[in-house]
Structure 1
């Protein structure tokens, strides 16, 4: 699976040494502050928002990435949604409904931890899940062919084009974890007592379907990689570097919208600033 977007000023290292980790962390600290400043300007500007979509196999590092990348962003400026199995209410709507109502308002960054792409990934590996949506044309899993999922991808493309046309900056990241590294991380959850709660036997069942998931990811990414909603395929075995790549992409996208700027105080108030100061100081 190729990298659809490459950050030119980030060099990936072959081995993860302490020096590499420290260097990535220092770069990330600087980027976090820059992202925070740009988000503040976007909030005041009030015309754009950003949607950050995170996809990846279990243990790919989505939760910790969110924590580390957005640590310095004002709490009012970032909203995180973690999408689980659809609720009974959500299943009474079309598959994009619950994602539509979770979109960030203008000025904010929304992070989808697992996304609308679950509907062409997990459901493609487990087509029986679709039956719970009660779609009139679907009588059994035999009706769920490639055309069905490709039509859903077309709907996703239209959805992302619509929100992009209305001022939302859409970035999509696939945390590309190796199967060997997933094994190491699952074993870590089992070996460290305080990490045991993160482990589920279902992780092992899904792991057996690794190749099928990879095929589904590749097809989905190929069909939905668009200029207005690009995919970034991020090497995820090295968490510090993965976080740095994502942060750099987010900052670059915010910076590219050079019309985002904080509004200025109206001229009539600007002219009275000294008088306002005097009024306050004279209290």
Structure 2
């Protein structure tokens, strides 16, 4: 995903003279194609994220569209004030291309795991937050970003993830995508957790349990027009994200339901990372298992969710009122 997205930025730079690349703490050779094609619009500024954001905002003030590329935790936590004041307060069209969203950098420990980035970026006025599910969707999202007014945060997963998006789902910023209509359970996902949700739906279909799936690549602005009708239909709603359960997709859906837009009997369960710093090193797959985000764990959570409501819905006659 990361490589495809950066290749698409290079394609945009060849097409549009206002596209600029700014790298910070990136590997040697990153974006060589861009540097060769557009040397006067290629910058690598080293480990100086606060400065890079100010530089990008200044370029945006002068008619450029900068794509800033570095590690997600450094891009969000280290220069939050500059993003808020220099970028968002002035609504400048800077694109933050954040490597390693979620637990991608688990081998490097908690300092490098961006499990709060969506919450941080959602809180900023004017900021758009996008988390594609695979490389194909990332390419579509980057191409759609050129003409978008205002700043964008791209949450970038690792490379090599399976392609699960569909060409007929032509990407539009701010639009959610319905992969299956809600039946017994509605799963709402963002980023790479769509891949898990599709596996859950396939496995539960064998148990005659119908699973609806809505993929939300744009967490902000939230697509109320797509989500609200599905939330009205679904009694069991589960959000799934590689992010803290505080401030991410689940919080956005909970707020939408609490605003009176939900089905009167609808219940919500959020699956994600609890209110803690990840305390284990290892691979991304290890983190998914540890936090209950892998396929088997989500299936157990879904079955427990459905069973719990049935058990608690026994009326006075002893009949189950699911």
TM-score, normalised relative to structure 2 = 0.28
TM-score, normalised relative to structure 1 = 0.31
Which structure's relative contact order is higher, taking Cα pairs within 8 Å and 6+ residues apart?
1
**Larger radius of gyration, structure 1 or 2?**
1
